[in-house]
């Protein structure tokens, strides 16, 4: 934990849903069929190359999912205090940010809980998967 409390790196979901950078729009849509998936992370060799949310894929989207992805406003460093990140998410009206290292390596996904007071953990994600029989 940091001097002022936990950092983003302390509260990040370390095993988020990722897709290879060459995934199709159809594959991304299949992932979004699970209503617990809010953001997909497109990766190559452990590096984040793009992020997708449902709204990025319009009805006419075809081809590579990466074409419709973006990074701006969707990433955050691991060393930021978690409370600062929570306030940033609230100010932006977001609940998810990809956590990346300085070299672009994906660290995980910061997930603000529905009540907006804390963050999802790997244990929370695993428990939901068991409930759904995944």
Residue 3, in any domain of the structure: no
Cα angle vertex 25, ends 24, 30, to 5°? 100
Residue 46, in any domain of the structure: yes
- In this structure, the number of other CB atoms found within 10 A of the CB of residue 23 comes to 21
Residue 66, in any domain of the structure: yes
Q: Please enumerate in sequence order all residues whose Cβ is within 8 A of that of 63, keeping only pairs 6 or more positions apart, or say none.
A: 24, 25
Residue 1, in any domain of the structure: no
pLDDT digits (tens, 9 = 90+) for 24-63: 999 999 999 988 888 999 999 999 999 999 999 999 999 9
Residue 86, in any domain of the structure: yes
Residue 97, in any domain of the structure: yes
Which residues are paired to 20 by β-bridges?
Answer: 43
Task: Give the strands of the sheet with 18-20, arranged side by side.
Answer: 18-20, 40-44, 47-52
108 membership: H or E segment, kind and range: strand 106-111
Number of independent structural domains in the chain: 1
pTM of the model: 0.86
Share of the chain above pLDDT 70, in %: 90
CATH number at residue 40: 3.10.580.10
Domain carrying residue 101 = 8-132
């Amino acid at each position: 934990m940091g001097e002022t409390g936990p950092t983003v790196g302390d509260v990040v979901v370390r095993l988020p849903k990722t897709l290879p950078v060459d995934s199709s729009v159809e594959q991304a849509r299949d992932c979004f069929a699970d209503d617990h998936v809010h953001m997909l992370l497109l990766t190559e060799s452990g590096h984040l190359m793009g992020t997708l949310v449902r709204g990025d894929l319009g009805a006419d989207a075809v081809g590579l999912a990466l074409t419709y992805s973006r990074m701006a406003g969707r990433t955050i460093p691991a060393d930021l205090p978690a409370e600062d990140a929570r306030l940033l998410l609230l100010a932006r009206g977001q609940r998810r940010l990809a956590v990346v290292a300085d070299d672009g390596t994906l660290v995980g996904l910061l997930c603000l809980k529905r009540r907006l007071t804390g963050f999802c953990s790997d244990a929370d994600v695993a428990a939901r998967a068991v409930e759904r029989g995944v």
